[in-house]
C-alpha cells in the first residue's frame, strides 16, 4: 500500500484515506447480503 502514496505523505491525507476506507466499509456492511 505504501507504493500508492506519493513521497509527501501528510497525516491529513492518511486520516482522509482511513476515513474513506471506514466509510466504504460501513456502506458495504449495510448492503444486504445475497
Return all residues near 13 (Cβ < 8 A) that are at least 6 apart. Answer: 5
Per-residue pLDDT, 2: 55
Burial 20-29, CB ≥16 within 10 A → b, else e: eeeeeeeeee
Per-residue pLDDT, 15: 82
Per-residue pLDDT, 5: 57
Tally Cβ neighbours within 10 Å of residue 19.
Answer: 10
Cell 491525507 -> residue: 13
For the segment 1-34, what is each residue's pLDDT rounded down to a tens digit?
Answer: 556 556 566 788 878 887 887 777 777 677 776 6
Alpha helix ranges (H) inside 1-34: 11-30
Amino acid at each position: 500500500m505504501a507504493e500508492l502514496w506519493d513521497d509527501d505523505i501528510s497525516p491529513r491525507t492518511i486520516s482522509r484515506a482511513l476515513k474513506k476506507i471506514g466509510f466504504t466499509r460501513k456502506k458495504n456492511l449495510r448492503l444486504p447480503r445475497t
